[in-house]
Amino acid sequence: MPACADFKFSILVGGQPIPEYEKDGTYYAESNLFTPFSYRQSVEEIVGEEVEKQAWPVTPYQICIEATPETSHCYYRVFLDGQKVKSLSIKPGQIRVVKGFRDGTTVKEFLFSLPRFARDEDDRMDSQCFNRIGLIEVECYNAVLQETKQKERTRAMTFDQANKKDSYKVTKGSYLMATTKSGKVIEHKTRFRNTDSWTVISLRSRLCIKYVTAQSLTEMGFTVQPFLPTILPSRSAASVKPEWQSRMDKEEVIQKEDTLNATQKDCCSVSTAQNVLMENCPRTLTCQETIIID
């Protein structure tokens, strides 16, 4: 898995890390749509004057971030397909799992999926996100906690799934590209939560994984490894916890109060000290920005 001095992260399917591949410093993972945890999602969209109905194969996934024991208490941002989906703080040695999209008081699945139909000619992603379709990025920042207040959860999900026209801008029709979309509601949050105000100072580190199809991995020279989960989706397996969950439970016993505070931090107002420009990330930090922390 990609790792640095501050943290490492992996993609989980069914609570278990999926195989990863590394080439020239870039990490890849297969967006497998036919795992034991995959299902078919019925979709109905109006395209022009017609109604398109399809049942897309999709795979729910989560993102597991583990801070190293030697790092500081840092502030993190998670991006999918070039769009920010999560902000959170992580203490040294702590594991946090980003389960899905926040939408008001609910959490919806992250889903690997094929690109959707474009609804009309104007239905396009931000052009700055084109070269980041298929990327899962995690950024770690130096930051200082200023205050904590209780606020109501009001933010609606704004994630825009890449469509076929967006994907064509990247692939030129030469290969099949996977994207991310939202799925079922998997968790309900309380109406009010603690909101942290942070001052972000500077970017510490950044890691990313590019998720691609098995065909793309083969064309890059990799031998695709089968995803063989040790825990299958069945009622009898419900009581068996994956390793990362067991470790998180142990942390909760040892540091229950700290962990509870960390998981309840949902939102922060950020004042940045500098702009950051990174390769493949054509964006800068704004002077004032509101961040939702789950």
45-104 tens-digit pLDDT: 777 778 878 788 999 999 999 999 999 999 999 999 999 999 999 999 999 999 999 988
How, if at all, do strands 100-103 and 106-113 pair? antiparallel
**Residue with more model confidence, 280 or 43:** 43
Q: Give the per-residue pLDDT at 236.
A: 45
Confidence label for 154 from pLDDT (cuts 50, 70 and 90): confident
Q: Which has the minimum average pLDDT: 108-112, 113-117, 214-218?
A: 113-117
pTM as predicted? 0.76
Q: What is the mean pLDDT of residues 271-294?
A: 38
pLDDT at 110 over 80: yes
15: left (phi over 0), alpha (psi -120 to 50) or beta: left
- Where are the extended beta strands (E) located within the chain? 7-13, 16-17, 20-23, 26-30, 39-47, 50-67, 74-80, 83-90, 95-98, 100-103, 106-113, 135-152, 179-188, 192-212, 265-271, 288-292
Closest CA to 74 of 100, 107, 96: 96
Q: Give the per-residue pLDDT at 44.
A: 77
Confidence label for 159 from pLDDT (cuts 50, 70 and 90): confident
- Taking the C-alpha atoms of residue 192 and residue 267, their distance in angstroms, rounded to an integer, is 11
Q: Give the per-residue pLDDT at 242.
A: 55
Q: What is the mean pLDDT of residues 249-270?
A: 46
Residue that the structure tokens 């995959």 belong to: 38
Closest CA to 61 of 29, 23, 105: 29
pLDDT at 289 over 50: no
